[in-house]
Amino acid sequence: MVNHNGNLTINEAVKVTGKSISSLYRLIKSGKLQSKKVIINGKELLTIKNEELVRVFNIPDNHSFSPDNHTVKSDNHSFSQVEITEKLEAVMERFFERKQAELVKPMEQQLLYQAGVMAKENQFLKEKVETLLLENRELQDQLKALPDLQADLQQEKEKAIGELQELHRLEVERLKAEGEQREQMIAERWKAELETLKRPWWKLW
């Protein structure tokens, strides 16, 4: 074994394991690979114990380390637990990202379609309210233009005008309430769908 008091420098570990420097530093930063600083030839260097490489990369103790080789000397090559975990995580991440995209796109399309339909219905209700108000004003003008009749007929006319106005008022209020209810439904549905889209992919099931 290469021996700096039982340690390998980062560059030596790269040659021994075949891993990149960034991969080794990432393992060190995550705490999966233990390291220490030692003085070698008067310089402070970050090193890794041989035992750590054996543990993390599943290298048998009887294998020899050599920084001149790019791989660990072994009769039977096998992936370490760390390598298997990293590969599985990458495959699973790609799989779920693809599945999430497949699920989100139809949801967005359906949401836009429903919002468009409800917006058209709401516009129709608003136009109907405006038409009723216009008809009410025209009818009032026509009744006021009629010649004066006897007192009882005048009372009937005023009563009819009052009833008609009340009916129009109730219809307008009903349509306005229905329109407000539809707008509230649109807002609540948008809010619910947006909350669903914000959820992490692993919570979509």
DSSP code, position 201: G
Of the candidates 2, 61, 56, the one whose C-alpha atom is nearest the C-alpha of residue 34 is: 56
Q: How many CB atoms lie within 10 A of CB 52?
A: 20
Please report whether residue 18 resides in a domain.
Answer: yes
C-alpha dihedral sign at 19, 21, 23, 27: positive
What global pTM score does this model have? 0.32
DSSP summary character for residue 65 = P
Q: Which domain holds residue 156?
A: 90-203
Cβ partners under 8 Å of residue 81, min gap 6? 56, 58
Mean pLDDT to the nearest integer, 35-55:
87
Residues 180 and 115 in one domain: yes
Residue 64 reports pLDDT greater than 70: no
pLDDT at position 151: 67
**84 within a domain of the structure (yes/no):** no
| Three-class secondary structure of residue 200 per DSSP | coil
115 within a domain of the structure (yes/no): yes
Looking at the structure, tell me whether residues 113 and 41 fall in a common domain.
no
- DSSP, collapsed to helix, strand or coil, labels residue 147 as coil
Please report which helix (H) or strand (E) contains residue 38, including its range.
strand 36-40
Q: What is the largest CA-CA distance in the chain?
A: 124
Give tens-digit pLDDT for 73-111. 333 344 555 556 666 777 777 887 787 777 777 777 777
